[in-house]
């Protein structure tokens, strides 16, 4: 039976197609895009080598599977995931990695949908990943729980993935970095990483992309956005969105004010002048200017060596976060730690044992 007409278990065995309904196979990981998943491989388990092969052949279902493995919080999957990344690395690196941030409602997802399709029409393959600092709390996702970017999601040259849920931001950053590698190995040459401007997420995204785009809007909340000077200092380009209809002039004014303010700020990338321009994600206006800026930036980065240097620094950060995670994994799965930890926790909580002594006891165990 094909995937579309798979019958749920409660359907009588001899029932006809009238009972057929659309059910995703059990192998579908939570949050995976059902549209992207149309050709999900049926078998439950694949080796890292098999997944890597599927990914490098550009198969989206295998790419989704690869990312599920990379994102797994289970120590059991950690080594398989790392083996997979090792196999994918040689085929990675050939993309432009663009971070996109902005307050909720600025139009990020509308922009990603329009810009993504615009890029695909020009021969690119576009992957969209997200970092959502709230997801570990809500177990939801800024992308996963809404039917956003539907048109982009349906396009065979796109791949959309909600943010990994759970875990510390450091772990999320490591997973996103490795997911990016998987997307590149699958042939995606533009990677868009969306984040809501909350907490440390912008600095985290900045530390893994080549180019950082800040999306703003004119009018309500200008003052508030302006306060976020720190974010402006991370941006390589500011796009004042919703420059359409009656809002064209206010948007242009806002861009002008931002350009004035930018004179006084330190540029995010040495030698590169961060500018503000206007666009309309809804009406596809100004997308070309944004892409031109990305191209100009890449040229500047490649000519000056900044591009290569930035990527080298990022690899170092990746190393640090992977190291931290690997050490923690090894520590937590050590049988001596496992047997001692609950008792120590209990005694610390009851005030029977000083915190530092508890830590020392545990470290001395291994
Ligand atoms: P996000 O929270 O930053 O992802 O913002 P959304 O993409 O969900 O957009 C928030 C609202 O702004 C939605 O109602 C969009 O339709 C609207 N919007 C987004 N881009 C534009 C635009 O370029 N022009 C206008 N007029 N509305 C837009």
Find, among 150, 179, 184, the residue nearest to 164 by Cα.
Answer: 179
* Ligand 1 lined by 110 (C-beta under 6 Å): yes
Ligand 1 atom, smallest distance to 103 CA = 3
93-310 fold: Rossmann fold (3.40.50)
* Ligand 1 lined by 244 (C-beta under 6 Å): yes
- Spacing, Cα 180 to ligand 1 middle (Å): 26
Output the average pLDDT for the chain. 83
Taking the CA atoms of residue 39, residue 42, residue 45 and residue 48 in that order, the dihedral angle to the nearest 10 degrees is -30
Do residues 267 and 259 make contact, with C-beta atoms less than 8 angstroms apart?
Answer: no
- Report the C-alpha gap between 273 and 233 in whole angstroms: 11
Ligand 1 atom, smallest distance to 104 CA = 2
User: pLDDT for 159-178, tens place per residue?
Assistant: 999 876 656 666 788 899 99
Q: Which residue has the tokens 């242009």?
A: 252
- DSSP annotation of 241 reads E
Q: If you take atom 12 of ligand 1, which residue's CA is the nearest one?
A: 107
Do residues 99 and 205 make contact, with C-beta atoms less than 8 angstroms apart?
Answer: yes
* Ligand 1 lined by 108 (C-beta under 6 Å): yes
How many separate helices (H) and strands (E) can be counted in the chain? Answer: 15, 7
Q: String of b and e for 15-39 (b: at least 16 CB within 10 Å)?
A: eeeeebeeeeeebbeebbbeebbee
Q: 18 or 351: which carries more pLDDT confidence?
A: 351
Q: Which of 169-173, 228-232, 313-317 has the highest mean pLDDT?
A: 313-317
Q: 302 or 17: which carries more pLDDT confidence?
A: 302
Mutate to test the pocket of ligand 1, among 110, 118, 145, 239 (most ligand atoms within 8 A of CB): 110
Ligand 1 atom, smallest distance to 113 CA = 7
User: pLDDT for 44-57, tens place per residue?
Assistant: 689 999 999 999 99
What is the average pLDDT across 320-344? 89
* Ligand 1 lined by 102 (C-beta under 6 Å): yes
Do residues 70 and 85 make contact, with C-beta atoms less than 8 angstroms apart?
Answer: yes
Q: What are the residue boundaries of the structural domains of the chain, listed by start?
A: 3-86, 93-310, 332-366
- Spacing, Cα 36 to ligand 1 middle (Å): 24
Which of 7-11, 88-92, 197-201, 234-238 shows the lowest mean pLDDT across its residues? 7-11
Mutate to test the pocket of ligand 1, among 102, 105, 160 (most ligand atoms within 8 A of CB): 105
Task: Categorize the per-residue pLDDT at 2 as very low, low, confident or very high, splitting at 50, 70 and 90.
Answer: very low
- Spacing, Cα 100 to ligand 1 middle (Å): 14
**% residues pLDDT > 70 (the chain):** 78
pTM, to two decimals: 0.82
Q: Which residues contact 225 (CB under 8 A, 6 or more apart)?
A: 103, 216, 217
* Ligand 1 lined by 281 (C-beta under 6 Å): yes
Task: Categorize the per-residue pLDDT at 228 as very low, low, confident or very high, splitting at 50, 70 and 90.
Answer: low
What is the average pLDDT across 104-130? 95
* Helical H segments across the chain, by residue range: 48-56, 60-71, 75-88, 108-121, 135-138, 150-154, 169-185, 201-206, 222-227, 229-232, 248-262, 287-304, 306-333, 335-349, 355-365
Task: Categorize the per-residue pLDDT at 42 as very low, low, confident or very high, splitting at 50, 70 and 90.
Answer: low
Do residues 300 and 271 make contact, with C-beta atoms less than 8 angstroms apart?
Answer: yes
Ligand 1 atom, smallest distance to 148 CA = 8
> Tell me, what's the pLDDT at 99?
95
What is the average pLDDT across 275-285? 96
* Ligand 1 lined by 107 (C-beta under 6 Å): yes
Q: What is the distance of C-alpha 75 from the center of its chain?
A: 21
């Amino acid at each position: 039976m094909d995937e579309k007409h798979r019958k749920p278990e409660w359907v009588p065995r001899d029932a006809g197609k009238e009972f057929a309904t659309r059910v995703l196979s059990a192998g579908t990981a939570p949050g995976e895009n059902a549209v992207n998943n149309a050709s999900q491989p049926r078998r439950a388990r694949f080796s890292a080598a098999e997944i890597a092969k599927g990914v490098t052949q550009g198969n989206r279902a295998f790419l989704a599977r690869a990312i599920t493995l990379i994102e797994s919080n289970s120590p059991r999957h950690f080594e398989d995931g790392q083996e997979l990344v090792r196999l994918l690395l040689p085929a990675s690196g050939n993309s432009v990695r663009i971070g996109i941030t902005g307050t909720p409602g600025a139009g990020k997802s509308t922009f990603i949908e329009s810009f993504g399709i615009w890029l695909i029409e020009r021969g690119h393959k576009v992957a969209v990943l997200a970092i959502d600092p709230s997801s570990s709390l809500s177990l939801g996702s800024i992308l996963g729980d809404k039917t956003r970017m539907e048109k982009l999601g349906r396009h065979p040259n796109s791949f959309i993935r909600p943010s990994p849920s759970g875990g510390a931001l450091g772990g999320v950053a490591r997973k996103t970095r490795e997911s990016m590698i998987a997307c590149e190995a699958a042939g995606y040459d533009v990677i868009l990483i969306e984040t809501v401007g909350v907490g440390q997420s912008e600095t985290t995204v900045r530390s893994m992309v080549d180019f950082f785009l800040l999306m703003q809007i004119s009018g309500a909340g200008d003052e508030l956005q302006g306060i976020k000077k720190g974010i402006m200092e991370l941006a390589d380009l500011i796009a004042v969105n919703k420059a359409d209809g009656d809002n064209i002039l206010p948007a242009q004014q806002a861009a002008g004010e931002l350009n004035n303010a930018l004179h006084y700020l330190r540029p995010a990338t040495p030698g590169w002048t961060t500018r503000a321009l206007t666009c309309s994600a809804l009406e596809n206006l100004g997308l070309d200017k944004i892409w031109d800026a990305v191209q100009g930036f890449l040229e500047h980065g490649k000519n000056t060596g900044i591009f290569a240097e930035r990527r080298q620094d990022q690899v170092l950060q990746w190393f640090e976060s992977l190291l931290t995670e690997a050490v923690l994994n090894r520590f937590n799965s050590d049988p001596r730690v496992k047997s001692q930890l609950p008792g120590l926790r209990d005694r610390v909580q009851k005030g029977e044992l000083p915190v530092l002594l508890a830590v020392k006891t545990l470290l001395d165990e291994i």
